[in-house]
Amino acid sequence: MSDAPSTERIPVSVITGFLGSGKTTLLKHLLPQPAMADTAVVINEFGEIGLDHLLVENSSDDTVVLSSGCLCCTIRGDLVDTLRSLFLRRRKGAIPQFKRVVIETTGLADPAPVLHTLMQDPLVSECYRLDGVITTVDAVNGMDQLDKQMESVKQAAVADRLLLTKSDLAPGAKVEALQERLRKLNPAAPIRPIQDGRIDAAELLNAGLYNPETKSLDVRRWLKAEAYSEDHHGHDHHGHAHGHGHDHGQDPHDVNRHDSRIAAFALDWDQPLDWSVFVEWIEMLITGHGENLLRLKGILNVAGEDSPIAIHGVQHLFHPPIALPAWPDSDRHSRIVFITRDIARGTIETSFKSFFAPKAG
């Protein structure tokens, strides 16, 4: 278990979304905002975000410093090289002391490899931490893209923030239907209709475990587990796992084949968990279902530990677990939130019970 303070690592926000969904327009309106000062923005190509309207203070081959305090950097080679180079140049004083990073993915990209980079590379994971995933969804074409493109569904399913772009160009009924569809795909992510990319940066940043406003680790805000449960206290008090929320893999009324592959739910457990057994269970899940564990967040009551343990995984990779300073309140049950593809809630719940249910005799 690691109690390394995640607060000291540089937060990274990932902006993803399908082609034409407005990522470029969004960045144009975010970059001049005071909340984005001291931010390094990592993109594939400077020209795509139109820096002409922003005052450029100085530039090098792959880095532009803007008057707003933002630092724009192109991806050279792969993302690992770019993030390592940024951090090393920051430490040497060759570039401004940025305090956060925003990464824009390409329109067709599965966001998982970007998240893997933040977890897998030793230097990157020591220096950076994932703050959140921001997904733009086109209100005009979003329904069609969700129907036809599985990557579009995944981008929406793993988001911490969902931005409904071009909402002024689509009929109201269409916007409402898309919002309802997104809520089913991703119950916990706030959905914010925006026009012309205009939104306060503060609404998108600081979506992670650490809350810079309170200078503390904010478990409830990060986990948002209540969004997956109609009964917010649906766990029983006998150590039985209960899955709550939306399991579209078993919804006979969901006729869309892409959406039906995604399930979003939470598991509760009242009894303290044996850490070695939990690790064994997670490793079993990863071995059997790794690619389809799109995202997993949890707070665990671990036997022998006074404080809770926070876990966060994307597919087959996990951040080092973090020992939190204290429980947020008197409720000490473990809760794990899952976003899965082609894994029914019952499959996860049954395997959990097989590992943790009290043995007879």
Note the pLDDT tens digit of each residue in 161-220: 999 999 999 999 999 999 999 999 999 999 999 999 999 999 999 888 887 777 778 888
Residue 278 tokens, joined: 């939990």
Q: Is the pLDDT of residue 252 over 50?
A: no
Q: How far apart are CA 159 and CA 161, in angstroms?
A: 5
Q: Is 133 exposed, middle or buried (0-12, 13-18, 19+ CB in 10 A)?
A: buried
Cβ neighbours for 27, distance < 8 A, ≥ 6 positions apart? 15, 41, 43, 49, 102, 104, 197
Give the DSSP letter of residue 239: S
Residue 325 tokens, joined: 């300073």
**Chain segment 8-40, per-residue pLDDT in tens:** 789 999 999 988 898 988 998 999 999 999 999
Q: Is the pLDDT of residue 255 over 50?
A: no
Amino acid symbol at 268? D
Return the percentage of the chain with pLDDT > 70, whole number: 86
